[in-house]
Structure 1
Amino acid sequence: MKIGVVIRLAVLALLVAFILTPQSFAPLFAPLVREGTPPIYTQTTILSLTLSHLAIVGFATVLATLFAVGLAILVTRPFGEEFLPLSRAIANIGQTFPPVAVLALAVPMLGFGTGPTLVALFLYGLLPIFENALTGLTSLAPSVREASRGTGMTGWQRLSGVELPLALPVILAGIRLSAVISLSTATIGSTVAARTLGEVIIAGLVSGNTAFVLQGGLIVGALAVLIYDGFVGLEKFMARRMGGI
């Protein structure tokens, strides 16, 4: 077994152990806190915050994927080519405004909670997925397109049976980038009362508890690495399946 796989399995095992039984790690964090201060965040369970964090990121990423891929499909069809500049402008909105600014604008309309965070993550995740989907759909070899037309496939059949499957590894790379960005960005959602791991980090910053800050940061970092590696493995699998390598 490769050393990289062993390290990642060890990270996964430690992450699961800490999320399920955080108090068993209290001796490790105790030196980082003042006497009488709890070394482990207990106001809300780490497990519930982690699941809520992943749910928000997952939902926002799914919405961004559906919208961005749909937009890429639209502008790569003959009837939608003229909308490409507008589509790029829409996809760039999230990158133009910082997530904090989006939260500030969304709170008056949606109130505090998960809603503003979902809006910010959705907008912030559009660009990498859209650009990768656009690249994947426009970089197919002309011979492949001609062969699919020659077999009598309809436009929908070519899209669903040839273009999207061949573009999938590239699209997945965009989703990977979007998911990892959203995973870290979601922590700021706790500033508007969204239930994310940012709650642990903010509690640590407010109380001067370094252990809390480290706990929240380590969980988010470990999740980002594992999700990134998971997508990379999926991309390689799909590339092999589609004859990409």
Structure 2
Amino acid sequence: MAGRLCAAALLLLLVLAPRLFAPAFRLLAEDGAPAIYDQGSLLQLTLDHVALVAGSTAASAIVAVVLGVLVTRPSGRDFLPLSRTLVNVGQVFPPVAVLAVAVPLVGFGLEPTLIALVLYGLLPIFENTVAGLDGVPAAVMDAARGMGLDPRRRFLSVELPLAMPLILAGIRLSAVINIGTATIGSTVAAKGLGEVILAGLGTGNTAFILQGGIIVGLLAVLVYDALGLLEARLAARAGRA
């Protein structure tokens, strides 16, 4: 708990009062270059980054969970290989390649970055959804049938709650991966912390690169921990049930 609080406090200070760290970052700035990123608000860029990741992860979760549910039903089993092929597209083609294809179609900015992140985030959520639903014990399902539950109620009251911790683990992995991957969106003019890192790379300013990298890293750690706590609570609740 203390570590999480320290990480959260450090993140807040970095985005709200970055000048406090100027003496440390000045050691990395050469030839009189600015030690603190001053081409935009770090707070706003962080909020834009979080919104981008949240939106793309939510879209990935909706698509992957729905697809995972469909292929674990008796009528959809035959489509499991095809579904796996589709969700693997985001892993086969790196996000940079997806951006290169998407930009001519939808233009620069937020849209191509969302497309790349949504595709990249599908696989872990889909596979965990399938594993979670297929992993529900047969004895539990037999008991639900014996209680007279119809397929819809069995799914909502038994299968989905038991599978939810594993589904959330896939969402957590997808979100954490996309926190880092979203930085590439700045190459196509999407707002986010990639702007800070790209500014550092473009000017050879290591201080900027480190600022952006630290904020992205702290975000990933805090999101991973927060979703992990939620996952543990759901697993405990499912165990009690």
Aligned to 2:201: 205
Greater displacement, 209-218 / 231-240: 231-240
Structure 2 counterpart of 1:220, from 209, 216, 220: 216
**2:52 aligned counterpart, secondary structure:** helix
CA distance in 2, matches of 1:199, 1:239: 38
Aligned to 1:125: 121
**2:121 aligned counterpart, secondary structure:** helix
Matched letter for residue 100 of structure 1 = V
CA distance in 2, matches of 1:124, 1:238: 26
Aligned to 1:29: 25
Tell me by how many angstroms 1:36 deviates. 2.7
Tell me by how many angstroms 1:233 deviates. 1.1
Does residue 231 of structure 2 align to residue 240 of structure 1?
Answer: no
**2:129 aligned counterpart, secondary structure:** helix
Aligned to 2:43: 47
Does residue 111 of structure 2 align to residue 115 of structure 1?
Answer: yes
Correspondences of 1:86-125 after superposition (within 5 Å):
86-125=82-121
CA distance in 1, matches of 2:166, 2:142: 21
Correspondences of 1:5-24 after superposition (within 5 Å):
5-24=1-20
Tell me by how many angstroms 1:203 deviates. 0.2
Gaps of 5+ in 2: none
CA distance in 2, matches of 1:81, 1:35: 63
Matched letter for residue 154 of structure 1 = D
Structure 2 counterpart of 1:181, from 170, 177, 195: 177
Q: Which runs of 4+ in 1 moved over 6 A?
A: none
Aligned to 2:147: 151
Tell me by how many angstroms 1:26 deviates. 1.2
Matched letter for residue 237 of structure 1 = R
How many residues end up aligned between the 2 structures? 241
- Give identity over the alignment, percent: 58
Tell me by how many angstroms 1:24 deviates. 2.0
CA shift digits 1:75-128 (9 cap, x unpaired): 111111111111101110100101000000000001000101000000000000
CA distance in 2, matches of 1:104, 1:110: 11
Aligned to 2:75: 79
CA distance in 1, matches of 2:205, 2:219: 22
CA shift digits 1:137-168 (9 cap, x unpaired): 00110011111111111211111111011001
CA shift digits 1:36-65 (9 cap, x unpaired): 321111111000100000101000000000
CA distance in 1, matches of 2:148, 2:240: 24
Gaps of 5+ in 1: none
CA distance in 2, matches of 1:200, 1:96: 28
CA distance in 1, matches of 2:168, 2:203: 40
**1:32 aligned counterpart, secondary structure:** coil
Does residue 62 of structure 2 align to residue 66 of structure 1?
Answer: yes
Aligned to 1:191: 187
Tell me by how many angstroms 1:35 deviates. 4.3
Matched letter for residue 33 of structure 1 = A
CA distance in 2, matches of 1:12, 1:244: 32
Tell me by how many angstroms 1:11 deviates. 1.2
CA shift digits 1:15-44 (9 cap, x unpaired): 111111112221121111124321111111
**1:81 aligned counterpart, secondary structure:** helix
Tell me by how many angstroms 1:230 deviates. 1.1
CA distance in 2, matches of 1:42, 1:129: 37
What is the TM-score when the length of structure 1 is the normalising length?
Answer: 0.96
